[in-house]
Amino acid sequence: MLTILFDGIAYGMLLFVLACGLAVTLGLMNFVNLAHGAFAMAGGYATVILVNNWGVPFFAALPLAFLVAALLGLVLERSLYVHVYRKSHLDQVLFTIGLVFMSVAAVDYVMGSSQVFVRLPPWLQGQFNVLGVGVGRYRLLIILVCGVLTVALQLVLSRTRFGSRLRAAVDDARVARGLGIRVDSVFAITFAVGSGLAGLGGALGTEIVGLDPTFPLKFMIYFLIVVTVGGTSSITGPFLASLLLGIGDVAGKYYVPTLGAFVIYTIMIAVLIVRPQGLFSRGGVR
């Protein structure tokens, strides 16, 4: 059972790293980015190419995956997304769905439609035995990396100037602009970092959840669930929500296989009925 818990935490933290960019984008710009998974996919495929084809060491590939996804995010944000900010939620949904379709088809064309795997360094494979509990090495790595990232994010948000500008802009963009905060730059940087984190998550997740061109579609709902349940007004909300979902999903699939996948969908629907603004958020969904 502890293994389940451990795996669930690993999965949850992975989900968090993947989804936190979406949470911030939604909370910050009130923008529904269903294409968020595409950036994760970009990071994942970048890592696969780097490690499998170009022999780059896994650990070096991870930050590169972040950069590739972040750069992609920055470019797309400045060129395309920025025109869609003021449009209705329906328009945003349609726009990002369009991007998803395009990215899925494009990756299918370039990389083929079968699932790809990353060649992990041997010392990351297998498990240790800690107090009789099987602790997967790779999953331990995920927990460590994601944990560090979460702490770093929280620190950036609460201790740095950028962080306070970001929080101000999330709270009220108009007032923030009035205070002289360059909200557009904050958006661009945040979007890029969020996409980069998604890319990193995609890279890390390849081994655990698999990677193929349909990744953005398959995982769209998971990201949305994290954001829905966790709310968008803090980092801790999505973090807790991701853990809840990760553990719930892994435990559900193990203990009740026929109903495993339903657990998270049902949680999401239940939460949305009871508290449309998310379990952990302060305010309402705009």
Partner 1 sequence: MSLPPARPDPGPARASRARWHPLEVLFWLAALACYFVLPSKHLILTEIAILALFALSLDLILGYAGIVSLGHAAFFGFGAYVAGLLAKHQLASEPLAALLLAGLAALLLGFLTSFLVLRGSDLTRIMVTLGVALVLREIANRYAWLTGGADGLQGVSIEPLLGLFRFDMFGRTAHAYTLAVLFVLFLLARRIAHSPFGLSLQAIKGNQLRATAVGIAVNARLISIYSIAAFYAGVAGALLTQTTAFASLDVFSFERSADLLLVLIIGGTGYLYGGLIGALIFKLMQDYLSALTPQYWPFWIGLVLVVIVLVGRDRFSHWTRPLHRLADRLDWRAGQARRATVSERH
**Residues interacting with partner 1, by CB under 8 A?**
32, 80, 83-84, 87-95, 97-106, 108-109, 217, 220-221, 224-225, 228, 258-259, 261-262, 265-266, 268-269, 272-273, 276, 285-286
Please tell me whether residue 105 adopts helix, strand or coil conformation: helix
| Residue 133: strand pairing partners | 130
Rounded Cα gap, residues 37 and 21, in angstroms: 10
Query: What is the nearest approach in angstroms of partner 1 to the Cβ of residue 230?
Result: 13
Our CB check for partner 1 shows the closer of 1 and 110 to be: 110
Query: What is the nearest approach in angstroms of partner 1 to the Cβ of residue 126?
Result: 32
Instruction: Check: CB of residue 28 under 8 Å from CB of residue 171.
Output: no
In this structure, what DSSP letter does residue 85 have? T
Our CB check for partner 1 shows the closer of 174 and 286 to be: 286
Query: What is the nearest approach in angstroms of partner 1 to the Cβ of residue 113?
Result: 8
- At position 281, the amino acid (one-letter code) is S
Our CB check for partner 1 shows the closer of 173 and 229 to be: 229
Query: What is the nearest approach in angstroms of partner 1 to the Cβ of residue 122?
Result: 35
Q: Which two tokens stand for residue 118?
A: 């990353």
Instruction: Check: CB of residue 121 under 8 Å from CB of residue 57.
Output: yes
**Could you give phi then psi for residue 228, rounded to 5 degrees?**
-65, -50
Which one, of 84, 72, 281, lies nearest residue 197 by Cα? Answer: 72
Query: What is the nearest approach in angstroms of partner 1 to the Cβ of residue 33?
Result: 12
Our CB check for partner 1 shows the closer of 104 and 166 to be: 104
